[in-house]
């Protein structure tokens, strides 16, 4: 089957950016700050806040680049993801940032009050600090929802070894780089790195956000990290050091004129598919023709193929297919609901039915469990690729659906676990990470039911799913404890810990019952919970010291017949 | 002799020439807002409108002067989803409403036209009047008369994306022909905000202005300004056409203010050497409006001057071009050559004549691919989803019938969820929701052809789906007591898009007021009133609601849009209604219905 052709819009976006005034507006403030700096020798101001209009705030940073080594920084640990397990930051940027920490904290408090546009900008090392400051603002979601931040840097060196490809934060960073500016690629190994920085400390730099690369002829946007790294390296190695003062103002003015002028004839037009043609032309525009790419060992065809694969992957994710998938998953949930319902008739509950695997329908239901688990593991993995604490992890719709899924399906995992008699302690040895995370996110988001709502919870208890999805794991452990206590070769020590477990279990169950948080199905005649009660009741009756508890009273007096 | 332009667009060269003459004449008229003519030897009536050069008649409220179109005069110009009514230029709309209100346009047009077709025409700011007049007559078609046509010359943009979408949905797009000279500044002027440059341009044309036909100082200044704004809109739209995933785009959108106006209808570009290039894809038209007017730095002064003088040259240019019949149709945009020496040669030559760079050509390809993708999506729905939906609906109908014979009705049976059938119905409900939700998201994302919502087969299928299945969604909603969390079912944000949109389709097709086809929400109204009438007090407001419900019930049972299962003895409705305190009940016909 022929694939749908893709397009690359790096030049269109580039022209859009230069034709809008936003980048120029940021650069003007940087110039202003630089002028003030030279006019007033001390104390050096590294940043300044401007308010060009009531709905726009600009924070500008300036400073020259320093050393290239990377140092770990706990301050930015919130950027960790599954892919980037630790975060290191350029030493010079971090040092400057830390030295400004007090005044920046103050500024942060100020900025949490504002609404409207917030542009955080900087030149050279100032841009690195602008990026760090922006990330720091984003952490913890302290900005108002109506505040729209945008970080724009000019000729800034790379700042760290982390990536933001799967985070929405990635869209908030724009790095403007001239093909005459060696600074952005300064710390890259084959670039002109200062002699002091050792190789091993500098290999980890990763770009993030969008790069607007500019030449005399035009500009184009790039967001593919490998390609950006390659291009920055080449620029850095080609441009003689020392030409530190790249005139970004002049570059932007030229580009603004260029954007409405006819383009020059280009080589890329010979390419058959529009995606490759687009990228080749984008590279040509910023001064990278085929010969130059070859010279620097950039295998552009491989890069394009990788970019294309990624783009294809992205086009398949859209709201229409998301909606479809969520409905398919709900369908599988309905099948489980039916299974649960039919199990109740057998006086057993779906947990024990599944554990016994006594009939065809128990095997049949396995397929739905597999579908559901596959879907939710995927959803959780997607969230995990984002930096921790990015804010809302899931849309509410998914958060709730995930909660229902966990309560419905995790008991089946527990059943499968304890069916294998050699296994013990599901919570520590068997529980899948995605359940833990779904539970954690849900609990972070949802407040506990206030006491006065208990009455309405009581009314509905007959239809609910047990709230603690690990309830059955506790029951299984309690059964194991009972069995151990009754066995002849139980040591004194084992006896004591088993007894402690059982007392704790009693309290736990009673608390759940009091909150109307367990399904009445646990009291069905053939359920594991009733099996436990049988064992336990037998044990305490034969025990020499008498023992009583609210749960024992509740069970002995059959109060559970009224719990429904 | 091959097919002429006239054959293709359904308007002969003579008519177009007559329209051009009358449009230019009428434009300068100060006495009458429009002129009517029946050109000798032609079987049409031409109506041409006056224009104005006053800045206030172009954009009264900066930056862009857009306003909601009034739904009373133009009921079709809206989204059938959630995007509301179309936006139009407020100054143009105001001027048109004044013409409509004061000058008995409708009567005069009817009188002169008789049984002939009417061609509305306008030049420059007269063109928007012609466009709105055409739409006005399209909205209320006269029996026995062929629908009106519209030809404009150098028209500024009039409406936004929804405006164009609605026109295409109603299949009116082919009624509009817009002639545009390659560099003419006026068709691009509305892509930017009202500015001093706009005033300079209008003053240049205005005979009453001191700067009339005077060279504009820094001649390239006004042109760069217009082009820069055009480039913002064109590049932004191009990014979206190309499916741009570069992250900064999203953020940038909130930092720039873009003109809402977009082209619609068929555009015919005059290349300046006698060639005519016909483009119907609205996205492609926008890209061409920008790219074909790009300049090189050397020709700056000349192009800027040309952009003004070309606006004055329509009559002769069109006469000459129509005589030559050198016409190129840019139809299969996705197959356009990217390189300036590509093939097919005629198409390539036309692209060269418009000065379209490889970048521009890629944008046009993307515009073509988008339309192709839309029709592919529609094919998938028609060839695959439709059958599956019908299959599931048949299952649902059986479920409904079976439940009725058991005396309870499927609404209540589903709400109880006691039998396996109820579970299976729930599975079907979700299967169906999957198809429709996907379709609604496609509509929201503009990923289906514009006229999809007008397809009779889908309006019918959707209505059958809505009437059969929505009661089950309502049952599910009240079964889980979701009203305690989110409130009443029938409101935006709670009631699913798939039902709201489909109801809009039907109401629009039947020209019924919004909300009149809410029969599928009957059960939600019942549940809501059940809760409200639980307390002991009497409230006149509730009495009114009960009365409305009773009236609706009788009407909907009568036209069979509501199932008779509502009236079964044990249904939630009947039990509630019978237990209702007598002062709430008023409709004796309801008891008759229930009894009978």
More confident residue, B581 or B312: B312
Contact B326, B276 (CB under 8 A): yes
Number of domain units in chain A: 3
Among A447, A474, A494, residue at a domain's last position: A447
Question: Considering the domain boundaries, does residue A438 fall inside one?
Answer: yes
Helix residue ranges, H only, B263-357? 282-291, 300-309, 314-324, 345-353
Average pLDDT of chain B to the nearest whole number: 93
- From CA A508, how far away is CA B571, in angstroms rounded? 43
Sign of the CA dihedral A100, A105, A110, A116?
positive
Question: Does the structure show a pLDDT above 50 at A237?
Answer: yes
Residue whose token pair is 């606006």: B311
What is the per-residue pLDDT for A22? 94
Nearest beta carbon to residue B426 from set A263, A274, A334:
A334
State whether A328 and A426 are in the same domain: yes
Instruction: For chain B, positions 343-362, list CB contacts with chain A under 8 A.
Output: 355, 357-359, 361-362
For the ranges A190-199, A495-504, B203-212, the lowest mean pLDDT is seen at A190-199
Contact A62, A26 (CB under 8 A): no
- From CA B338, how far away is CA B356, in angstroms rounded? 9
pLDDT-based confidence at residue A290 (cuts at 50, 70, 90):
confident
Question: Considering the domain boundaries, does residue A4 fall inside one?
Answer: no
Give residues with Cβ within 8 angstroms of B331, minimum separation 6. Answer: B280
State whether A113 and A184 are in the same domain: yes
pLDDT-based confidence at residue A305 (cuts at 50, 70, 90):
very high
Nearest beta carbon to residue A171 from set B250, B296, B437:
B250
Question: Considering the domain boundaries, does residue A290 fall inside one?
Answer: yes
**Chain B nearest C-alpha distance from A401 (Å):** 14
Question: Does the structure show a pLDDT above 60 at A201?
Answer: no
Contact A130, A120 (CB under 8 A): yes
Among A395, A429, A447, residue at a domain's last position: A447
pLDDT-based confidence at residue A144 (cuts at 50, 70, 90):
confident
Instruction: For chain A, positions 183-222, list CB contacts with chain B under 8 A.
Output: 209-210, 212, 221-222
Angle at A293 between CA A292 and CA A294, to 5 degrees: 90
For the ranges A80-84, A144-148, A337-341, B344-348, the lowest mean pLDDT is seen at A80-84
Question: Does the structure show a pLDDT above 50 at A527?
Answer: yes
State whether A526 and A397 are in the same domain: no
Contact B13, B87 (CB under 8 A): no
- From CA B12, how far away is CA A555, in angstroms rounded? 93
**Chain A nearest C-alpha distance from B593 (Å):** 35
Which long-range contacts does A294-301 make (Cβ < 8 Å, 24+ apart)?
A296/A230, A296/A233, A296/A234, A296/A237, A298/A230, A298/A231, A298/A234
Contact A67, A196 (CB under 8 A): yes
The DSSP bridge pattern shows strands B266-270 and B176-181 to be: parallel
pLDDT-based confidence at residue A547 (cuts at 50, 70, 90):
confident
Q: Does A397 touch chain B (CB under 8 A)?
A: no
What is the per-residue pLDDT for A389? 52
Average pLDDT of chain A to the nearest whole number: 87
What is the per-residue pLDDT for A451? 57
Q: Which residues of chain A neighbour B368 with C-beta distances below 8 Å?
A: none
Residue pLDDT, tens place only, A22-56 = 999 999 999 999 988 877 666 677 899 999 988 99
What is the per-residue pLDDT for A394? 57
State whether A471 and A516 are in the same domain: yes
> What percent helix, strand, coil does chain B show, rounded to 5?
60, 10, 35
What is the per-residue pLDDT for A2? 55
Give residues with Cβ within 8 angstroms of B426, minimum separation 6. Answer: A334, A337, B414, B417, B472, B476
* Catalytic member of B37, B160, B184, B237: B184
Question: Does the structure show a pLDDT above 90 at A297?
Answer: no
CA dihedral A527→A530→A532→A536, nearest 10 degrees, is -170
State whether A379 and A459 are in the same domain: no
The upper half-sphere exposure of residue A227, i.e. CA atoms within 13 Å in the direction of its Cβ, equals 27
Mutation for testing the B interface, residue in A281, A323, A343, A452 having most B CBs under 10 Å: A323
Sign of the CA dihedral B28, B29, B34, B37?
negative
State whether A470 and A420 are in the same domain: no
Instruction: For chain A, positions 303-332, list CB contacts with chain B under 8 A.
Output: 311, 314-315, 318-324, 327-328, 330-331
Question: Does the structure show a pLDDT above 50 at A558?
Answer: yes
Residue pLDDT, tens place only, B383-398 = 999 999 999 999 999 9
Mutation for testing the B interface, residue in A262, A364, A403 having most B CBs under 10 Å: A262
Q: Which two tokens stand for residue A519?
A: 């399904």
State whether A154 and A248 are in the same domain: yes
Q: Which residues of chain A neighbour B494 with C-beta distances below 8 Å?
A: none
- From CA B449, how far away is CA B547, in angstroms rounded? 42
Question: Does the structure show a pLDDT above 50 at B3?
Answer: yes
Q: Does B250 touch chain A (CB under 8 A)?
A: yes
Q: Which residues of chain A neighbour B243 with C-beta distances below 8 Å?
A: 6-7, 9, 311, 315
**Chain B nearest C-alpha distance from A327 (Å):** 5
State whether A461 and A429 are in the same domain: no
- From CA B66, how far away is CA A10, in angstroms rounded? 31
Among A280, A297, A318, residue at a domain's last position: A318
Give residues with Cβ within 8 angstroms of A404, minimum separation 6. Answer: A333, A465
pTM for this entry:
0.90
Subunit contact B238:A12, Cβ cutoff 8 A: yes
More confident residue, B65 or B342: B65
- From CA B102, how far away is CA B95, in angstroms rounded? 11
What is the per-residue pLDDT for A1? 40
State whether A84 and A196 are in the same domain: yes
Subunit contact A12:B244, Cβ cutoff 8 A: yes
pLDDT-based confidence at residue A448 (cuts at 50, 70, 90):
low
Q: What are the beta bridge partners of residue B48?
A: B35, B121
Contact B586, B550 (CB under 8 A): yes
**Chain A nearest C-alpha distance from B260 (Å):** 16
Q: What is the mean pLDDT of residues B157-177?
A: 97
- From CA A518, how far away is CA A464, in angstroms rounded? 8
State whether A420 and A510 are in the same domain: no
**Chain B nearest C-alpha distance from A563 (Å):** 19
Contact B475, B526 (CB under 8 A): no
pLDDT-based confidence at residue A240 (cuts at 50, 70, 90):
low
Question: Considering the domain boundaries, does residue A279 fall inside one?
Answer: yes
State whether A468 and A443 are in the same domain: no
Question: Considering the domain boundaries, does residue A379 fall inside one?
Answer: yes
Subunit contact B255:A150, Cβ cutoff 8 A: yes
* DSSP per-residue codes, B198-222: HHHHHHHH-TTSTTTTPPPSSHHHH
Number of other CB atoms surrounding residue B208 within 10 Å? 9
- Is B175 a known active-site residue? no
Residue pLDDT, tens place only, B432-441 = 999 999 999 9
Residue pLDDT, tens place only, B19-40 = 999 999 999 998 899 999 999 9
The DSSP bridge pattern shows strands B275-279 and A173-178 to be: unpaired
Question: Considering the domain boundaries, does residue A1 fall inside one?
Answer: no
Q: Where are the beta strands (DSSP E) in A289-430?
A: none
- From CA A71, how far away is CA A66, in angstroms rounded? 14
Nearest beta carbon to residue B438 from set A11, A320, A342:
A320
Number of other CB atoms surrounding residue B374 within 10 Å? 17
Q: What is the mean pLDDT of residues B339-349?
A: 89
- From CA A494, how far away is CA A428, in angstroms rounded? 19
DSSP B261: B
- Is B28 a known active-site residue? no
Question: Considering the domain boundaries, does residue A5 fall inside one?
Answer: no
What is the domain extent for residue A74? 10-318
Considering only CA atoms, which of B179, B174, B88 is closest in space to residue B138?
A: B174
Would you give the distance in Å from CA A402 to the centre of its chain? 16
What is the per-residue pLDDT for A460? 74
Contact A20, B252 (CB under 8 A): yes
| Phi-psi region at B188: left, alpha or beta (left = phi > 0; alpha = psi -120 to 50) | alpha
What CATH number does residue A273 fall under?
A: 3.40.50
Q: Which two tokens stand for residue A179?
A: 């093909």
Give residues with Cβ within 8 angstroms of B79, minimum separation 6. Answer: B85, B86, B162, B165, B166
For the ranges A89-98, A185-194, A303-312, A544-553, the lowest mean pLDDT is seen at A185-194
State whether A423 and A457 are in the same domain: no
Reported residue count of chain B is: 596
Range B294-321 burial, b when 16+ CB lie within 10 A, else e? bbeeeebeebbbbbbebbbbbbebbeeb
- Is B184 a known active-site residue? yes
Question: Considering the domain boundaries, does residue A2 fall inside one?
Answer: no
Residue pLDDT, tens place only, B467-492 = 999 999 999 998 877 777 677 898 87
């Amino acid at each position: 089957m022929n694939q749908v052709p893709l397009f690359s819009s790096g030049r269109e976006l580039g022209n859009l950016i230069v034709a809008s005034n936003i980048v120029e507006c940021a650069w003007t403030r940087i110039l202003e700050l630089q002028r003030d700096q030279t006019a007033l020798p001390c104390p050096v101001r590294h940043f300044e806040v401007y308010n060009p209009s009531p709905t726009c705030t600009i924070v500008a940073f300036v400073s020259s680049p320093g050393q290239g080594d990377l140092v770990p920084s706990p301050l930015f640990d919130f950027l960790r993801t599954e892919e980037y397990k630790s975060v290191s930051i350029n030493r010079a940027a971090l040092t400057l940032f830390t030295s400004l920490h007090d005044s920046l904290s103050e500024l942060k408090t100020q900025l949490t009050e504002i609404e409207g546009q917030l542009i955080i900008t900087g030149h050279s090392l100032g841009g690195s600090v602008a990026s760090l400051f922006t990330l720091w603002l984003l952490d913890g979601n302290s900005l108002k929802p109506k505040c729209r931040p945008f970080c724009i840097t000019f000729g800034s060196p790379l700042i760290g070894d982390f990536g933001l490809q799967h985070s929405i934060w990635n869209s908030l960073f724009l790095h403007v780089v001239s093909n005459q500016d060696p600074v952005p690629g300064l710390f890259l190994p084959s670039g002109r790195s200062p002699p002091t920085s050792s190789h091993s400390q500098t290999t980890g730099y990763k770009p993030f956000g969008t790069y607007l690369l500019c030449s005399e002829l035009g500009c184009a946007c790039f967001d593919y990290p490998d390609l950006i790294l390659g291009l920055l390296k080449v620029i850095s190695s080609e441009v003689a050091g020392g030409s530190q003062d790249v005139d970004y103002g002049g570059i932007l003015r030229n580009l603004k004129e260029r954007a409405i002028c006819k383009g020059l004839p280009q080589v890329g037009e010979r390419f058959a598919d529009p995606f490759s043609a687009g990228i080749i032309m984008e590279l040509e525009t910023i001064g990278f023709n085929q010969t130059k790419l070859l010279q620097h060992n950039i295998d552009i065809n491989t890069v394009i193929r990788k970019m294309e694969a990624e783009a294809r992957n992205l086009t398949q994710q859209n709201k229409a297919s998301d909606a479809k998938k969520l409905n398919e998953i709900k369908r599988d949930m309905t099948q489980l609901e039916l299974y649960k319902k039919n199990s109740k008739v057998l006086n057993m509950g779906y947990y024990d039915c599944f554990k016994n695997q006594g009939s065809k329908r128990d095997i049949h239901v396995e397929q739905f469990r597999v579908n559901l688990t596959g879907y939710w593991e995927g959803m959780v993995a997607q969230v995990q690729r984002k930096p921790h604490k990015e804010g809302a992890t899931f849309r509410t719709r998914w958060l709730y659906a995930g909660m229902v899924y966990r309560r419905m399906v995790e008991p089946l995992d527990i059943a499968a676990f304890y069916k294998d008699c050699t296994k013990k302690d599901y919570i520590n040895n068997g529980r899948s990470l995605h359940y833990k995370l779904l539970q954690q996110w849900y609990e972070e988001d949802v407040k506990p039911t206030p006491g006065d709502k208990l009455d309405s919870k009581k009314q509905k208890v007959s239809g609910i799913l047990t709230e603690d999805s690990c309830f059955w794991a506790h029951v299984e452990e309690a059964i194991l404890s009972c069995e151990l206590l009754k066995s002849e070769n139980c040591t004194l020590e084992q006896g004591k810990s088993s007894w402690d477990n059982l007392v704790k279990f009693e309290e736990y169950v009673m608390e759940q019952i009091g909150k109307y948080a367990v399904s009445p199905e646990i009291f069905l005649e053939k359920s594991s919970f009733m099996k436990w009660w049988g064992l336990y009741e037998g044990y305490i009756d034969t025990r020499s010291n008498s023992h009583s508890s609210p749960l024992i009273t509740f069970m002995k007096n059959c109060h559970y017949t009224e719990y429904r | 002799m091959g097919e002429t332009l006239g054959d293709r667009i359904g308007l002969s060269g003579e008519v177009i020439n007559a329209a051009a003459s009358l449009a230019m004449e009428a434009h300068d008229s100060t006495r009458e807002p429009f002129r009517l003519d029946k050109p000798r030897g032609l079987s049409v009536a031409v109506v041409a409108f006056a224009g104005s050069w006053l800045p206030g008649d172009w954009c009264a409220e900066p930056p862009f002067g857009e306003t909601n179109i009034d739904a009373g005069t133009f009921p079709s110009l809206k989204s059938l989803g959630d995007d509301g009514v179309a936006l139009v230029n407020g100054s143009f709309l105001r001027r048109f409403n004044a013409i409509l209100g004061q000058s008995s346009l409708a009567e005069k047009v009817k009188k002169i036209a008789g049984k002939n077709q009417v061609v509305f025409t306008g030049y420059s700011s007269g063109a928007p009047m012609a466009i709105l007049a055409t739409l006005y007559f399209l909205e209320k078609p006269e029996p026995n008369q062929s629908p009106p046509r519209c030809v404009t010359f150098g028209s500024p943009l009039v409406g936004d994306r929804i405006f164009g979408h609605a026109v295409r949905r109603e299949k009116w797009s082919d009624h509009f022909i817009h002639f545009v000279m390659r560099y003419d500044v006026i068709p691009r002027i509305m892509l930017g905000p009202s500015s001093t440059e706009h005033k300079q341009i209008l003053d240049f044309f205005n005979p009453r202005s001191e700067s009339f036909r005077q060279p504009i100082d820094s001649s390239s200044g006004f042109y760069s300004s217009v082009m820069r704004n055009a480039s913002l809109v064109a590049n932004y739209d191009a990014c979206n056409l190309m499916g741009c995933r570069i992250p900064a785009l999203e953020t940038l959108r909130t930092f720039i203010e873009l003109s809402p106006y977009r082209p619609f209808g068929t555009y015919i570009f005059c290349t300046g050497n006698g060639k005519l290039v016909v483009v119907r894809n609205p996205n492609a038209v926008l890209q061409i409006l920008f790219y074909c007017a790009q300049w090189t730095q050397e020709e700056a002064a000349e192009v800027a001057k040309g952009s003004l003088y070309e606006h004055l040259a329509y009559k002769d240019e069109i006469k000459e071009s129509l005589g030559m019949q050198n016409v190129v149709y840019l139809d299969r945009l996705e197959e356009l050559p990217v390189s300036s020496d590509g093939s097919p040669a005629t198409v390539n030559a036309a692209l060269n004549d418009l000065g379209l760079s490889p970048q521009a050509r890629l944008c046009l390809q993307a515009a073509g691919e988008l339309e192709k993708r839309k029709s592919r999506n529609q094919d998938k729905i028609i060839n695959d989803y439709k059958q599956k939906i019908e299959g599931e609906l048949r299952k649902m109908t059986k479920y409904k019938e079976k439940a009725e014979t058991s005396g309870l009705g499927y609404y209540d049976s589903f709400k109880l969820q006691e039998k396996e059938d109820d579970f299976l119905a729930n599975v079907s409900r979700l299967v169906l929701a999957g198809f429709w939700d996907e379709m609604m998201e496609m509509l929201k994302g503009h990923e289906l052809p514009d006229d999809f919502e007008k397809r009779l087969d889908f309006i019918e299928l959707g209505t059958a789906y809505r009437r059969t299945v929505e009661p089950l969604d309502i049952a599910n909603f009240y079964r889980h007591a979701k009203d305690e969390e989110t409130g009443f079912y029938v409101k935006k944000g709670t009631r699913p898009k798939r039902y709201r949109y489909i109801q809009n389709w039907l109401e629009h097709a039947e020209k019924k007021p919004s909300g009149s086809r809410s029969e599928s929400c009957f059960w939600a109204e019942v549940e809501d009133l059940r809760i409200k009438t639980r307390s002991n007090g009497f409230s006149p407001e509730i009495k009114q609601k009960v009365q409305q419900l009773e009236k609706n019930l009788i009407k909907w049972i009568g036209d069979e849009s509501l199932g008779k299962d509502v009236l079964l003895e044990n249904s939630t409705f009947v039990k509630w209604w019978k237990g209702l305190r007598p002062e709430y009940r008023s409709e004796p016909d309801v008891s008759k219905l229930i009894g009978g």
